[in-house]
């Protein structure tokens, strides 16, 4: 068998990597235009085709158009965000308070992706040792949707500053259903060249070469082509950030 016999064409492969590198967590660039039904259906289908341990498919999708419900969720965010700001001091707190961290009402629609922790019964193939694999599987559905959304030109923002118990009550979720990801969706004015948290000075991307270990934890790769390639990629990414080019990230 020829190596790489099942690879995509160069253009298709490049499109996949482009979606990965240009995906952004959008909070403040939403347009009011609705997402067409056929586009939203494709995004949900992409999410539903995520892999899942034991093929449990633990996800459900709450499409939230109601402004009253969205305002309730926004109120939960505001409470949680005020508590979060108090955890920082000085300039860090000032910077935090200047960040826009949600687009709950600004976006034309919200989507909550949940995880049904009882789906498939008490014994799921591959889940006996790691119970959290249902949550991990649902995260893959989120990522599938996010990458497909980028390809469609749709922005996605994950509102992670929420009390999940209060959110579950607001959305009237059953006891075994966990609200894993509360997302804001819509077309946007732009996709930023850099992740907003990086451009605003909150955090910088860690060098990939520092995060790859050889055989056991803390043991660096012993030179060779891979170590050299990772170092070269880190240097290229640094130049891209310095020059204002596109950089992967949240």
In the chain the domains, ranked by start, together with CATH numbers, are 11-191 (3.40.109.10), 204-250 (no CATH)
* 27 alpha carbon, distance to own chain's centre: 13
Q: Splitting the chain (250 residues) into consecutive groups of 10 residues, what average pLDDT does each group show?
A: 83 97 92 97 98 96 98 97 94 91 96 96 89 96 98 97 98 98 97 88 91 92 88 87 58
Full strand arrangement of the beta sheet holding 154-158 = 59-64, 109-116, 177-187, 154-158
Retrieve residue 39's tokens: 């586009």
- Tell me, what's the pLDDT at 3? 74
Please check whether residue 134 is in contact with residue 53, taking contact to mean a CB–CB distance below 8 angstroms: yes
- Tell me, what's the pLDDT at 170? 98
Contacts (Cβ under 8 Å, ≥6 apart) of 108: 30, 31, 32, 33, 34, 35, 185, 186, 187
- Tell me, what's the pLDDT at 2? 67
The full DSSP string for 6-22 is TPPPHHHHHHHHHHHHH
- Tell me, what's the pLDDT at 157? 97
């Amino acid at each position: 068998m020829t190596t790489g016999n099942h690879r995509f064409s160069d253009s298709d492969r490049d499109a996949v990597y482009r979606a990965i590198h240009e995906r952004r967590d959008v909070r403040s660039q939403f347009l009011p235009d609705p997402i067409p039904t056929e586009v939203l259906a494709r995004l949900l289908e992409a999410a539903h085709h995520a892999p899942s341990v034991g093929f449990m498919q633990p996800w459900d999708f709450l499409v939230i158009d109601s402004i009253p419900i969205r305002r309730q969720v926004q109120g939960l965010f505001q409470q949680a965000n005020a508590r979060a700001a108090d955890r920082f001091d000085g300039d860090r707190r000032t910077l935090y308070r200047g960040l826009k961290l949600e687009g709950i009402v600004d976006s034309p629609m919200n989507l909550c992706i949940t995880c049904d922790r009882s789906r498939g019964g008490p014994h799921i193939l591959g889940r006996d040792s790691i119970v959290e694999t249902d949550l991990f599987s649902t995260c893959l559905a989120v990522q599938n949707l996010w990458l497909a959304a980028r390809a469609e030109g749709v922005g996605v923002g994950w509102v992670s500053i929420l009390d999940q118990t209060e959110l579950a009550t607001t959305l009237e979720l059953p006891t075994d259903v966990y609200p894993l990801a509360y997302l804001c969706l819509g077309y946007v004015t732009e996709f930023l060249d850099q992740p907003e948290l990086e451009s605003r000075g909150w955090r910088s991307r860690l060098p990939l070469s520092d995060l790859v270990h050889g055989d056991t934890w803390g043991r660096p790769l012993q030179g060779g082509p891979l170590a050299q390639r990772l170092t070269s990629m880190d240097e290229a990414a640094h130049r891209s950030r310095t020059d204002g080019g596109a950089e992967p990230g949240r």
